[in-house]
Amino acid sequence: MAAERSARRLERMEDLVSLCARRGFVFQSSEIYGGINGFWDYGPLGTELKNNLKSLWWQRVVRERPDVEGIDTAIIAHPRTWEASGHVEHFSDPLVDCRACKKRFRADQVGDAGPCSARQGSSEHDFTEPRNFNLMLRTHIGASEDAAAVAYLRAETCQSIFNDFKRVRETSRQKIPFGIAQLGKAFRNEINPRNFTFRSREFEQAELEFFCHATEREKWFSHWTDERMRFHRELGLAGDRLRTRAHATDELAHYARAAVDVEYLFPFGWQEIEGIHDRGSYDLSRHGEYSGKDLGVTDPETKEHYVPVVIETSVGIDRTCLAVMVDAYAEETLEDGETRIVMRFHPALAPIQVAVLPLSKKLAEPAHRLESELRRRFNVFYDDAGNIGRRYRRQDEAGTPFCVTIDFESAQDEKVTVRERDSMEQERIPIGAVGAVLAERTGALR
C-alpha cells in the first residue's frame, strides 16, 4: 500500500538551484574560477534530461512529419545575414548605468535593481539616460581584428534556416507547404542574466520555420499552436501552470501578423518558454534582397511566383528543461515524519530510468547481469553502497522512476523487487520480465 504523505511543490528557486548543484543537474559554468554570469554547465543528470527533451522534440517535429526536414548549420553565419535580419540595427535592449555603483541594468527592469551599494545618505541609484545596447555577441574571423573581420555568434537559430531555404527545398524535393527545423545553441549578451538558466547568455533553441502560401497562414498558425501545446502537455506541464498568451497588436514585431507565447508559471511568475509567430514573408524577402538571390517559389499548377509566408515555432530547450524541473520537484513528508525530495519526471524524460540496487555486494554477479541486459534499452544506474533507504532517496532526487532490488531470495525464485518512485509501491516480478515490463512503463512518450 502507498504510504500516506503530504507533498509541497517548489516555492523558492533556491531549493531547485541547490538540488541541481548537489546532484549535478546544472551548475555555474567555470565554477572553479568563481563562475561566469549567464553561462551554465549541465552535469550527467542534466545532460541526460536535456538530451531526452531534445530527442522528443526532434521526434515529434521532424521525424514524425513527412513535411518537415531537419538541418544543423554553422553557429557563425555570413555577417550580412544579421544585417538582412535586422539584428545589427534593431536587436538591442535599453541599458542604463548607475554612476555611483557602476552596475548596469536593463532600463525596463530598474524596478528590480535593488538598493545602490555605493551612495551615502541614499540607497537610490544614480542612473544615466537609457541607451541602446546590441545583444549580439561579436567575434572576429581569421587573423585580423578589424571591422571587416567582425562576425556574430547566432542570436537565433532560424536565420540560417532562411539562408538555406532554397538549397534544402531543392535537395529534399519538398513542396510548399513544408518546414525546416533546427536545434542548437544561440547566444545573446543579455544585460541582466537571471532566474537561474531562464535568461542566459548561451542557450539552446529548437526552431521550426514552416513555409506556406499566404492564403493558408491562419490554418498553419493554428495547427502549430495546437501541436506545440500538445507537446508541452505530453511533458507533463499540464493543468493550471501552462497557458498560451496572444500578443497584443502593439507587442508584435513590425513584420509579424500574429504571435502567441506559451507560458509556464515559474516561482518567479508567468514566463514565456516558447513563441509561435506568423513572420509573414519578411525573412525570405530580406535575405533575397541582401543576397541578390531569388528565394521565391513557383506554384506548379497556377505558375504563381511568390515568397512564402513563415509560421515559426521557437522553443527554448533550457527554459523548458527548467519548467520540467520546477514542475517535477516535490518535497514530501512521509507518514513516519521523514522528508523526501522527489523529482517526478515523466519516465521517458527521466535522466536515469532504472536503478539496479543489489541488497548485498555478494549479489554483484546476478545484479551486474541484469544491469548489462537493461543497459541495452535504458539509462541504468548501478548502486550497491549504503543502506537501501538511502539509496532509494538518492534515486528519488535524481527522478529515477524505477528501482530494481535483488535480494538473496532472487536466486531461488528468480524474481526481483521493482519499486515505483511516486507511489513507492513495490512489486515482485520475474527477472526475465523486467526489461519488457519497464519498457512498457517508461515508453509512453516514444
Applying CB under 6 A, the residues found at the interface with ligand GAP are: 156, 158, 188, 190, 199-200, 203, 205, 207, 272-275, 312, 314-316, 318-319
Task: CB nearer to ligand GAP: give 162 or 402.
Answer: 162
Phi, psi of 174 (to 5 degrees): -80, 150
Q: Provide the minimum distance between the beta carbon of 72 and ligand GAP in the complex, in angstroms, as a whole number.
A: 16
Bridge partners of residue 41, in order along the sequence = 27
Shortest distance in whole angstroms from residue 328 CB to ligand GAP: 18
Instruction: Please state the closest distance from residue 240 (CB atom) to ligand GAP, in A.
Output: 20
Nearer Cβ to ligand GAP (159/410): 159
Q: Find the shortest distance in angstroms from Cβ 199 to ligand GAP.
A: 4
The three cell numbers of residue 166 are: 532554397
Question: Least distance (Å) from ligand GAP to the CB of residue 135?
Answer: 9
Judged by CB, which is closer to ligand GAP: 50, or 319? 319
Name which of 264 and 402 has its Cβ closer to ligand GAP. 264
- What is the phi/psi pair of residue 180, to 5°? -125, 130
Close Cβ partners of 117 (under 8 Å, ≥ 6 residues apart): 101
- Residue 72 or 146 with smaller CB distance to ligand GAP: 72
Minimum separation from the CB atom of position 423 to ligand GAP (A)? 33
C-beta of 205: minimal distance to ligand GAP in Å? 5
Handedness of CA 205, 210, 214, 215 (dihedral sign): negative
Order of strands across the sheet with 380-382?
380-382, 354-358, 402-406, 415-420, 426-430
Q: How big is the CA angle at 25 (ends 19 and 29), to the nearest 5 degrees?
A: 105
Name which of 87 and 340 has its Cβ closer to ligand GAP: 87
Q: Which residue's Cβ has the minimum distance to ligand GAP?
A: 316
Listing DSSP states for 234-278 in one string gives HTT--GGGEEEEEPPGGGS-TT-SEEEEEEEEETTEEEEEEEEEE
* DSSP at 61: I
Residue placing its CB nearer to ligand GAP in the complex, 132 or 298 = 132
DSSP H stretches of helix in 34-90 = 44-58, 80-84, 87-90
Angle ∠(16,22,27) on CA atoms, nearest 5: 70
